[in-house]
């Protein structure tokens, strides 16, 4: 958790482009696959939900990603810059293309994180671990949020549960927890600098 707090603080302090900083934040807040975050389209946002179509998912099943208040705030921050285009996070080379696959990786390196410490895909492992071990969320909710198939003794033919209500609460709890960790890291750095 301490390392995650420092990561969130580093993202807040990131001096690169707004598009990349917002993509980093959305990666942390939603922990979706990096390709899905980079290819997020404005048309996929409906209210407080991100509806990833089956054509973009590994399981070929659509995913509903509940958006926390913090994730909605990220979208509101970037909307004046990219809201008229197709992609939420367009390429610096032109709005008709999505953010490059190296943008988040390069940002993480510029913030001092090497490959062994954090990757674009690492936001998924970070969330999976902390939601289970620290926040005690049900594994089924976490796995559904990750876009994984949830095993069921009766199979998918009978169980079409999406756990939406539970995942909405879980995603808000996750975002609030990231905020708390970032604040703790900020307080620690102020105390350290004051010595």
Active site residues: 33, 58, 121, 124, 148, 158
| Interatomic CA distance for residues 17 and 192, integer angstroms | 28
The alpha carbon dihedral of 155, 156, 159, 164 has a sign of positive
Residues 6 or more apart in contact with residue 74 via CB below 8 angstroms: 22, 25, 26, 29
Is residue 112 packed enough to be buried (19+ CB in 10 Å), middle (13-18) or exposed (0-12)?
exposed
Could you count the other beta carbons within 10 Å of the beta carbon of residue 34? 20
């Amino acid at each position: 958790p301490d390392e995650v707090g420092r990561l969130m603080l580093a993202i807040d302090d990131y001096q690169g482009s707004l598009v990349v900083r917002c993509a980093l934040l959305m990666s942390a807040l939603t922990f979706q696959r990096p390709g899905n975050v980079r290819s997020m389209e404005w048309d996929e946002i409906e209210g407080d939900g991100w509806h990833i179509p089956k054509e973009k998912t590994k399981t070929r099943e659509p995913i509903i990603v509940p958006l926390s208040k913090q994730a909605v705030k990220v979208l509101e921050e970037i909307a004046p810059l990219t809201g008229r285009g197709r992609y939420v996070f367009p390429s610096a080379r032109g709005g008709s293309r999505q953010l490059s696959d190296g943008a988040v990786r390069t940002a993480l390196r510029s913030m001092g994180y090497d490959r062994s410490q954090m990757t674009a895909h690492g936001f998924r492992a970070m969330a999976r671990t902390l939601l289970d071990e620290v926040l005690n969320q049900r594994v089924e909710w976490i796995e559904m949020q990750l876009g994984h198939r949830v095993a069921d003794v009766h199979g998918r033919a009978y169980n079409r549960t999406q756990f939406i209500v539970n995942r909405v609460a879980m995603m808000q709890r996750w975002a609030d927890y990231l905020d708390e960790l970032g604040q703790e890291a900020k307080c620690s750095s102020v105390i350290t600098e004051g010595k």
